[in-house]
């Protein structure tokens, strides 16, 4: 291997020896002791202004003439979304949160030049008030086992060099050289890895079935459709470390005998699409994708297929239909995709996180991996902790961690002094878990037993201000819209369930509504063709199991205990607090508020549409919802 990576000349890496030489050269220039400032800049970070923060750091570095001493590195999503834009100063590991562009100057002059901490930018534990200086001490990170996510902060996602410098593709070369495809599958089987997309099917078994299918053409697909609202770990992995997914797919393709792969990304993730494209291009340039990889005769290449806005296309057969240019209508199984999938060929589809686990397992061994987690659910899982929670973000924990640990130890609990009500796990296909079950260990079986599912890992925390009826109505409306429309049970069943829920939320609920709801729910579950319909009733069924009283309050008493359902609440002015500032009167779109300046105002209930703008505007806490 001759030259360094330049703009024109890219030498292909043909053996693991060459890979090592390449890597050593990179490591020399990018060791962990190298001073650098890493700024988390996934889609969320950018939405909060991380790009401007990066630019201001670069300006400050230039101003102080430190270009040769320290550099900025823009990483993908770090997972601690609540604190973004955040930055970590290496090698010390000092963590600064919620940065604005103005802070860069101070950080450079104080911390980088003089080793002094900028106190006001440190992370503060929302419960104890304790400040933390180093990234490694912060409880949010400490309590996790970030086998996959940690790498996000070590690399720039658009740089294959970074990936190589942390040992990337080394595992692939090892596999190619030392293991037969059957041995690879055996290793994955022994690790106990189960599909991270939601169903939890044993990955090794899936690969085995696909391998056994006789065909000269086989496909591997990465399902990055991540349709569950509230889940974004796949986005993080694909944006932040696309090569880890590619390496996983390469190993999988080798094991199964596939020569072509697809990454199916939803169109709502433009950054993930962009980074995947760059990663594939770079891998091709280095001879890691394409013909005769590593001079072994193995050929494999990957194409990107972009989703077009259909939740149902997260389902395997619908995804296949989508790539084939058809409506995303699921197909009957048997035959399963591993036997007859894309264009009738054996196809192995796995979720992003599943693929990302593959190089990890092959590198450190199935024995090591199977020690993490529980008896039947091995390894770690990345969860998105969102909703009414203090430390919103992504957390990666070993299977078996309890909900209580996730929500309180890592998540910091519910903000604004509100009471915890339930968690919704598994997206629209999942169920609500109430506080009585907080000590439930998170693994596939326990969650199913409690009436929910693991799903892709979205955990939505709900507090007392969340109305269960409103939430369920939201999910059923979502599913009715996303249903492909083929099955009467799903299409019409969800339609009628939604009608009943609307009636309940608007105070027209009838005594027998719950019974009808349950009856239709059973039919939707039993009679529908695909996973969407079969799991659609879960939110309804689980909330009727744990929060039946709330439904009854809506039906019998025409009251919404959480004060959310618009038809059942009223907005009024709290006379004791109203200063007559008129802010609410000015902003009310229906002109429903009247009053003279400095006089107590009044809301006309006949005109009020309960849009909530006044509530958001009032600075004196003078608007009440009852």
Residue 157's beta-bridge partner residues? none
- Looking up tokens 């969650």, which residue turns up? 447
Site for another protein in 98-157 (CB under 8 A): none
SS3 category, 251: helix
- What's the closest the beta carbon of residue 555 comes to another protein, in angstroms? 15
Q: At what angle do helices 468-482 and 488-505 cross, to 10 degrees?
A: 150
Written as six digits, the tokens of 312 are: 């149902």
Q: Would you give the distance in Å from CA 276 to the centre of its chain? A: 17
- Tell which one of 203, 317, 380, 384 touches another protein (CB under 8 A): 384
- Tell which one of 474, 559, 579, 625 touches another protein (CB under 8 A): 474
- 70/462 with CB nearer another protein: 462
Long-range contacts of residues 18-21, Cβ cutoff 8 Å, at least 24 apart: 19/164, 19/169, 19/170, 19/173, 20/170
- What's the closest the beta carbon of residue 130 comes to another protein, in angstroms? 22
Stretch of residues binding another protein (CB under 8 A), selected from 120-128, 147-155, 328-336, 443-451: 328-336
Written as six digits, the tokens of 344 are: 């009738």
SS3 category, 9: coil
Does residue 542 touch another protein according to CB under 8 A?
Answer: no
- 108/578 with CB nearer another protein: 578
Does residue 581 touch another protein according to CB under 8 A?
Answer: no
- 95/478 with CB nearer another protein: 478
- Tell which one of 144, 357, 489, 505 touches another protein (CB under 8 A): 489
Q: Are strands 298-306 and 260-265 parallel, antiparallel or unpaired?
A: parallel
- What's the closest the beta carbon of residue 5 comes to another protein, in angstroms? 30
Q: Are 6 and 62 in contact (CB under 8 A)?
A: no
Does residue 12 touch another protein according to CB under 8 A?
Answer: no
Site for another protein in 39-68 (CB under 8 A): 43-44, 46-48
Written as six digits, the tokens of 515 are: 């019974």
Written as six digits, the tokens of 135 are: 């990234």
- 370/477 with CB nearer another protein: 477
- 168/242 with CB nearer another protein: 242
Q: Give the DSSP per-residue string, 157-180.
A: TT-HHHHHHTTTTHHHHHHHHH--
SS3 category, 11: coil
Site for another protein in 201-260 (CB under 8 A): 226-232, 235
Q: Are 620 and 579 in contact (CB under 8 A)?
A: yes
- What's the closest the beta carbon of residue 105 comes to another protein, in angstroms? 24
Does residue 386 touch another protein according to CB under 8 A?
Answer: yes
Q: Would you give the distance in Å from CA 189 to the centre of its chain? A: 25
- Tell which one of 75, 144, 171, 424 touches another protein (CB under 8 A): 424
Q: At what angle do helices 488-505 and 513-527 cross, to 10 degrees?
A: 160
SS (H, E, C) 491-502: HHHHHHHHHHHH
- Tell which one of 143, 376, 491, 559 touches another protein (CB under 8 A): 491
Site size for another protein (CB under 8 A): 89
**Max CA pair span of the chain:** 84
- 118/523 with CB nearer another protein: 523
Written as six digits, the tokens of 142 are: 């400490």
- Looking up tokens 């509530």, which residue turns up? 615
Does residue 415 touch another protein according to CB under 8 A?
Answer: no
Does residue 499 touch another protein according to CB under 8 A?
Answer: yes
Does residue 557 touch another protein according to CB under 8 A?
Answer: no
Q: Would you give the distance in Å from CA 275 to the centre of its chain? A: 17
Stretch of residues binding another protein (CB under 8 A), selected from 20-28, 107-115, 196-204, 488-496: 488-496
Does residue 269 touch another protein according to CB under 8 A?
Answer: yes
Site for another protein in 392-411 (CB under 8 A): 392-393
- Tell which one of 127, 267, 296, 599 touches another protein (CB under 8 A): 267
- What's the closest the beta carbon of residue 251 comes to another protein, in angstroms? 25
- 198/387 with CB nearer another protein: 387
Rounded to 5 degrees, φ, ψ at 412 are 80, 5
Residue 220's beta-bridge partner residues? 261, 348
Does residue 449 touch another protein according to CB under 8 A?
Answer: no
Does residue 324 touch another protein according to CB under 8 A?
Answer: yes
């Amino acid at each position: 291997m001759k030259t360094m990576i330049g703009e024109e000349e890219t030498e292909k890496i043909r053996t693991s020896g060459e890979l090592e030489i390449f890597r050593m050269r990179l490591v020399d220039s990018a060791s962990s002791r190298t001073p650098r400032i890493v700024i988390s800049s996934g889609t969320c970070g950018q939405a909060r202004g991380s790009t401007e923060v990066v630019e201001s750091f670069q300006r400050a570095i230039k101003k102080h003439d430190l270009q040769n001493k320290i550099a900025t590195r823009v990483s993908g999503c770090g997972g601690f979304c609540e604190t973004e834009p955040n930055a970590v100063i290496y090698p010390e590991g000092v963590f600064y949160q919620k940065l604005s562009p103005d802070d860069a100057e101070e950080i450079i002059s104080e911390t980088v030049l003089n080793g002094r901490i900028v106190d006001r930018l440190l992370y503060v534990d929302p419960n104890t008030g304790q400040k933390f200086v180093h990234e490694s001490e912060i409880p949010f990170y400490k309590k996790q086992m970030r086998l996959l996510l940690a790498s996000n902060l070590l690399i720039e996602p658009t740089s294959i060099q970074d990936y190589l410098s942390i040992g990337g593709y080394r595992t692939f070369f090892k596999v190619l050289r030392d293991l037969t495809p059957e041995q690879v599958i055996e290793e994955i089987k022994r690790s106990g890895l189960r599909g991270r997309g939601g169903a939890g099917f044993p990955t090794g078994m899936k690969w085995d079935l696909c391998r056994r299918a006789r065909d000269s053409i086989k496909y591997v697909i990465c399902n990055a459709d991540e349709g569950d609202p509230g889940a974004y770990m796949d986005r993080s992995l694909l944006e932040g470390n696309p090569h880890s997914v590619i390496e996983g797919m390469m190993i999988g393709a080798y094991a199964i005998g596939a020569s072509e792969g697809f990454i199916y990304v939803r169109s709502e993730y433009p950054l993930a699409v962009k980074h995947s494209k760059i990663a594939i291009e770079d891998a091709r340039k280095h001879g890691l994708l394409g013909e005769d990889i590593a001079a072994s005769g193995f050929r494999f290449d990957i194409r990107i297929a972009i989703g077009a806005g259909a939740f149902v296309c997260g389902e395997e057969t619908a995804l296949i239909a989508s790539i084939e240019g058809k409506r995303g209508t699921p197909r009957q199984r048997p035959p399963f995709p591993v036997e007859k999938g894309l264009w009738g060929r054996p196809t192995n589809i796995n979720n992003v996180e599943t693929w990302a686990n593959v190089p990890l397992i092959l590198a450190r061994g199935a024995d090591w991996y199977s020690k993490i987690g529980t008896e039947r659910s091995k390894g770690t899982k990345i969860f998105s902790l969102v909703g009414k929670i203090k430390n919103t973000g992504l957390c990666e924990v070993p299977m078996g961690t309890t909900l209580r640990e996730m929500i309180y130890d890592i998540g910091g609990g519910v903000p604004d002094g509100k009471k915890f009500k339930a968690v919704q796990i598994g997206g629209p296909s999942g169920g609500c878990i109430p506080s009585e079950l907080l000590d439930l260990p998170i693994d596939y079986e326990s969650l199913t037993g409690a009436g929910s599912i693991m799903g892709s890992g979205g955990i939505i925390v709900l507090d007392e201000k969340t109305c269960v009826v409103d939430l369920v109505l939201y999910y059923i409306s979502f599913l009715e819209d996303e249903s492909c429309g083929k099955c009467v049970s799903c299409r019409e069943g969800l339609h009628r369930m939604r009608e009943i829920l609307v009636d309940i939320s608007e105070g027209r609920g009838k005594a027998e509504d719950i019974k009808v709801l349950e009856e239709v729910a059973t039919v939707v579950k039993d009679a529908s063709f695909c996973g969407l319909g079969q799991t659609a009733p879960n939110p309804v069924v689980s909330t009727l199991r744990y929060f039946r009283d709330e439904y009854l309050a809506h039906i019998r008493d025409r009251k919404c205990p959480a004060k959310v359902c618009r038809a059942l609440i009223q907005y009024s002015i709290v006379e004791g607090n109203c200063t007559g500032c008129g802010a609410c009167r000015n902003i009310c779109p229906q002109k429903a508020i009247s009053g003279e300046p400095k006089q107590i105002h009044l809301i006309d209930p006949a005109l009020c549409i309960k849009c909530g703008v006044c509530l958001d505007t009032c600075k004196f806490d003078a608007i009440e919802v009852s």
